[in-house]
Amino acid sequence: MFLTRFRMNTARTGARRLLSSPQVLHAAVMASFPGLLPTEAADAAGGPRVLWRLDENARAEVLLYVVSPDRPDLTHLVEQAGWPAVADAQSPGWQTRPYAPFLDRLAQGQRWAFRLTANPVHDIRRKPDEPRKRTAHLTPVHQMGWLLDRQERCGFHVVEKPQSERLLPAGTTHRGHGHHGDRYRLTVGDRRGLAFDKGRGEGKRAGRVSIVTVTFDGHLEVTDPVAFRRTLTRGLGKAKAYGCGLLTLAPLTGTE
């Protein structure tokens, strides 16, 4: 497994084209693997897959992160959306590091800061005789609930704040649901509604894709290292082809 970081040169036309379409960017990411044929883009069930995420920290600081089973070659991305004039063999324009040694060191009880861009959805049925329809969660309370509902089987739990740091009293609810916003070290931000045309396949018409993405930032504790490694290499939630599902970790610094 490998973890890769690439900084987009947002002043370039190629970068703006990639940033305007998750589908175009997904195709560019998948083209980074010479041994992966287009027909093999759907990874084998249960195994590691290619995951990616964009972090737009500032207008001129847009970072692409990729987790992949194989080492990528991002030469085409550097040429389209990087700084090709300063790239060389020692500094090709991106950074790739082996990920497996880090994954092997994960252990129960460790605490980490994390970031996850996800597509929180649920299936609803307005009438008993209607088929279920996948619908996005739109409020931060429900989006947090979506993540908290999945934490146990994903091998971690989101760290709770001490009672002394909570501003809302215990038991506070919001529209009949537990108010998660003040209980956990967890924030929800960068909500985006994405809509674009899905490319045509053989014998298929182009369809319209609409998804809602949010970015979670918080602290977690590892509860099941095996399940957690699977989450880090397989992703969490839907819309992985459109930049969702990649959870990354950083050391906690200072006091929580």
- When pLDDT is cut at 50, 70 and 90, the band that residue 177 belongs to is very low
More confident residue, 84 or 139: 84
Residue 73 and residue 116 in one domain:
no
CATH code, 229: 3.30.70.1210
Residue 81 and residue 173 in one domain:
no
Residue range of the domain that includes 113: 106-250
**3-class secondary structure, 12:** coil
- Which H or E run contains 24? helix 22-30
Rounded to an integer, the average pLDDT of 123-127 is: 66
The per-residue pLDDT for range 28-52, each reduced to its tens digit, is 999 999 877 654 444 445 567 899 9
> Going by C-beta distance under 8 Å and a sequence separation of 6 or more, which residues neighbour residue 51?
66, 67, 68, 233, 234, 235, 240, 245, 246
User: What whole-number distance in Å separates Cα of residue 30 and Cα of residue 43?
Assistant: 11
Residue 73 and residue 136 in one domain:
no
Rounded to an integer, the average pLDDT of 108-136 is: 80
Rounded to an integer, the average pLDDT of 199-203 is: 51
Q: Which two tokens stand for residue 16?
A: 């703006």
The domain boundary residue, chosen from 54, 88, 103: 103
User: What whole-number distance in Å separates Cα of residue 53 and Cα of residue 240?
Assistant: 9
Is the pLDDT at 236 greater than 90, yes or no?
yes
In this predicted structure, what is the pLDDT of residue 169?
62
Do 187 and 113 touch, CB atoms closer than 8 A?
A: no
Is the pLDDT at 114 greater than 90, yes or no?
yes
Residue 21 and residue 87 in one domain:
yes
Residue 255 in any domain: the answer is no
Q: Give the pTM.
A: 0.83
* HSE-CB for 189 with a 13 A CA cutoff: 8
The domain boundary residue, chosen from 103, 120, 141: 103
Is the pLDDT at 176 greater than 50, yes or no?
no
More confident residue, 113 or 60: 113
User: What whole-number distance in Å separates Cα of residue 187 and Cα of residue 219?
Assistant: 10
Residue 256 in any domain: the answer is no
CA dihedral 136, 234, 147, 58 (to 10 degrees): -80
